Amino acid sequence: MTNIRIDHNLKFKTATLGCFLRLPLDKKTLALANILACMQSNASKSFPGINIQARTFSNLYNASLQIFSEVFGNQIVVFYTINFVKPREILDPDYNYQIVMDAFFKVVKEPLFDGQLLELAKRQLEQERKQYYELPANFALNGFFNTWYRNTPNYQDSVFGDEKTLKNVSLEEIKSFFNTLKNAPAFCLGQAQDPDSLTDLVQNRIDWPGYFDDFVVPTLSLSTIEDPIEKEVQFKSEQAQLLIGYGYDQSLPVYFKQFGGLFLGEYLAGDESSKLFTEVRKKLGAAYAIDATNYVNNSLFLISTGISKDKIAVASKAIKSGVGAVQAGKVDEDVFNKAKAALKRNYQISADRQDLILIQMLANALRGRDYTFEQRINDVKQFKMDKLIEFSQKLYFNESYCLK
């Protein structure tokens, strides 16, 4: 059976389709995926120039083509997505699903392997990489993850991939990688007003072997080894970046670690009433901003803050005390209820965003489930304080990374 699912959706005036291909994570593969995505975003065999390709999709009533790669736990997923006005919304007899799909799949399936295009992609990614790491918060986050995965270097550099590969990759290597990609497990997902018509058109175009393979990854999350480390790195900036990471067992039930982490993040640093915002920013005046994020695919709960350099020690103590209080069962019910309301509101908003619906479809395909935003909202409603405490008690301090 072909891996394709296009849902009926009347909520939006646009239709969306994504072809998603997955590969095991390592930093060289990620670099190759990023180079190829950049080349295909610029031009293709049928549209052999940046202006030609851009004009082609602009003429399709400003259809939005996006090609990029993203890391999901132990997998790299290459995204080919297109968002376009539904043909029924346009009184144009020459505009239809077939015209859009023809253009889209020409880009996906027929790259232009050209030396100049490769060198352009290298320059573009180098400039993007440089701009990204000029921001202290991004530099610190990358340093944190590279330290977190210091014993598994293939999981490092998880934004752009291996730097040497990005600079030195040859055209033959890109061709070989594309041939590998054609055999990778793949899934087509989308939403449209006429899903049956679009499915028939897509079905005739997805003939790569990977569309007939199992797309599900039984264990998507990366495991964490308890091996605490504290690291300080010098950096020329006005403020310090402090990141404190807690690990947890990869084998915890997905529901428990997902919602436990979401609630803990919102409780500690969701808004101005959250615990760490109050303690670290308001009372101590130590933080410019503070965030708490659950990286469920990395078995990591991360608290990060931009702080005055003379307040590093006091902020670190306050953060660890904030987590420790929850672990000791000291939970403010009012703040917990505000966190619950915020998470419910976030999911209600997400259900009205076409891009996030597509991401949810992808997450379901990777995990082999059918989990809706309505179910997520219901799970938020059912989540109790004792589960928050129980999740926090599964956490262990594993890294402090300070950029100052």
Q: Tell me the two tokens of residue 212.
A: 């007939």
- How much of the chain exceeds pLDDT 70, in percent? 98
First and final CA of the chain: distance in angstroms? 54
State if pTM tops 0.85. Answer: yes
- Confidence (pLDDT) at 235: 87
* 70: Cβ contacts below 8 Å, ≥ 6 apart: 76, 77, 79
| Average predicted confidence (pLDDT) for the chain | 94
Give the mean pLDDT of 120-132: 97
393 has pLDDT over 70: yes
pLDDT 10s digits, 186-209: 999 999 999 999 999 999 999 999
137 has pLDDT over 80: yes
SS3 of the chain: the string is CCCEEEEECCCCCEEEEEEEEEEECCHHHHHHHHHHHHHHHHCCCCCCCHHHHHHHHHCCCCCEEEEEEEEECCEEEEEEEEEEECHHHCCCCCCCHHHHHHHHHHHHHCCCCCHHHHHHHHHHHHHHHHHHHHCHHHHHHHHHHHHHCCCCHHHCCCCCCCHHHHHHCCHHHHHHHHHHHCCCCEEEEEEECCHHHHHHHHHCCCCCHHHHCCCCCCCCCCCCCCCCEEEEECCCCCCEEEEEEEECCCCCCHHHHHHHHHHHHHHHHCCCCCHHHHHHHHHCCCEEEEEEEEEHHHCEEEEEEEECHHHHHHHHHHHHHHHHHHHCCCCCHHHHHHHHHHHHHHHHHHCCCHHHHHHHHHHHHHHCCCCCHHHHHHHHHHCCHHHHHHHHHCCEEEEEEEEC
Give the mean pLDDT of 159-175: 97
Q: Determine whether 120 is exposed, middle or buried from the number of CB atoms within 10 Å of its CB (0-12, 13-18, 19+).
A: middle
- Confidence (pLDDT) at 287: 58
282 has pLDDT over 70: no
